[in-house]
Amino acid sequence: MNIHEYQAKELLAKFGVGIPAGIAALTVEEAVAAARQLPGPLYVVKAQIHAGGRGKGKFKELPAEAKGGVRLAKSIEEVEAFAREMLGNTLVTIQTGEAGKQVNRLYVTDGVDIAKEYYLSMVVDRATGRVAMIVSTEGGMDIEEVAHSTPEKITTIVIDPAEGFMPHHGRAVAYGLKLEGELNKQAQTLAGQLYAAFMALDCAMLEINPLVETKDGNLLVLDTKMSFDSNALYRHPDVMALRDETEEDPAEIEASKYDLAYIKLDGDIGCMVNGAGLAMATMDIIKLNGMFPANFLDVGGGATTEKVTAAFKIILSDPAVKGILVNIFGGIMKCDVIAEGIIAAAKEVNLSVPLVVRLEGTNVQQGKDLLNTSGLPIVSANDLGDAAAKIVAEVKKAA
Ligand code: ADP
Ligand code: MG
């Protein structure tokens, strides 16, 4: 789960992390009121969307020369004008895709006199099973480009969970950022605070870009992105309350209610599969047959009729879907039970596109017999290759 910049900053502030003063706003009036509470004379008006690259982004509704979603205002009047331009409009950045994201919230924050921008992020490194802190002297810009062209400017510090954060980790972070004197000490303290926050909140990722050195010699977090391990969210009702569903795909929200792992993709074949590995293989074999999957969908081991029906509805709510491929292995569940679920669901949702079903496992023959005698236009397949070839042929035939 992702949260907004202002929410992440509020969480980090509780761990002592230095952030510029700022207030979130939902309307132009709130933005003006927020600016009045800040010392000024420089303010920054920042679009709050779950995507980065806002500064260099473009608003669909504004002329091409208009600035992006992070604007420096020199007066309250400018704050008002920028808020008016941003709220309700669609910001397109390299991370939003072409459709962009509508800006419904702003963050009005203190303008900072920046001496230098740095990069600092934390991730769970799957290779080592540890939290890694990644730092670079090249902040504010595209870190992927830095990693590609000047990898020597990036330092990774891995922290052993049994040992926890030690003073040497802090020194390594400060050294990687090439900081000296007072700033070096601040970086060591900051690294410890960030590690504490990351662990306490069960973060999956924390990125600070830029971390800045101010002209008066302080380190401040200017931009931050934070995401959480969804398996640990139950431990953090306060974090869960920060969820902004308007930033998420409605079908993915619906799927999460039924505990379905659903991810929308760009193709035409809707997939309903049990098990993530089988789902991946199903997507691969659809591609091998010349078409593309419209989604990834893992209904899980114990797929009930209710779950199968919900999954069907979610797949069919996607107007791009031209056919559905169901690929279920009846291991824990029996194929006849699954077939009953599919038939009930297909009747309930009034199936309008071709449906190919491949069942394998316990009671497979009873399952196939049920499908064949259901009276529904369900095409039964024998194996994965057969199923993919059949759904592609059916979709082409229907087109
Ligand atoms: P994004 O990464 O989405 O473009 P950032 O918050 O990183 O958004 O803002 C882009 C740039 O705007 C920063 O690299 C920084 O140079 C500038 N900026 C952001 N916040 C402030 C601020 N409070 N004061 C001064 N400059 C800022
Ligand atoms: Mg940034």
- CA 223 / ligand 2 centre spacing (Å): 5
> And the tokens for 147?
């990693």
Residue 255's H or E segment, with its range, is helix 250-257
In CATH, the architecture of 114-240 is 2-Layer Sandwich (3.30)
Query: Which pLDDT belongs to residue 8?
Result: 98
Say if residues 260 and 298 touch (Cβ distance below 8 Å): yes
Query: Which pLDDT belongs to residue 219?
Result: 96
Q: Is 207 among the residues known to form the active site?
A: yes
- CA 141 / ligand 2 centre spacing (Å): 8
- What does the CA dihedral 32, 37, 213, 222 come to, rounded to 10 degrees? -50
For the cut 80, the answer to whether the pLDDT of residue 302 exceeds it is: no
Of the listed ligands, the closest to the CA of 74 is 1
Just give the CATH number of 250-398.
3.40.50.261
Burial of residue 64 (CB within 10 Å: 0-12, 13-18, 19+) is: exposed
Tens-digit pLDDT profile for residues 220-276: 999 999 999 989 999 999 999 999 988 888 888 889 888 888 998 989 999 999 889
- Where exactly are the structural domains of the chain? 21-110, 114-240, 250-398
Average pLDDT over residues 194-210: 97
Q: Is 29 among the residues known to form the active site?
A: no
Tens-digit pLDDT profile for residues 134-171: 999 999 878 888 888 999 999 999 999 999 999 999 99
C-alpha closest to that of 317 among 339, 340, 295, 299: 295
Per mean pLDDT, which of 138-147, 175-184, 293-302 is the most reliable? 175-184
Nearest CA to ligand 1 atom 20: 222
129 appears as a binding residue in the annotation: no
46 appears as a binding residue in the annotation: yes
Residue 10's H or E segment, with its range, is helix 5-13
For the cut 90, the answer to whether the pLDDT of residue 381 exceeds it is: yes
* Fold category of 21-110 in CATH: Dna Ligase; domain 1 (3.30.1490)
Ligand 1 binding site (Cβ under 6 Å of any ligand atom)? 20, 44, 46, 52-55, 70, 109-112, 114, 117, 140, 209-210, 222-223
pLDDT classification of 173: cutoffs 50, 70, 90: very high
What number does the ligand 1 atom closest to the CA of 52 have? Answer: 3
30 appears as a binding residue in the annotation: no
The one catalytic residue among 6, 107, 118, 119: 119
Say if residues 88 and 104 touch (Cβ distance below 8 Å): yes
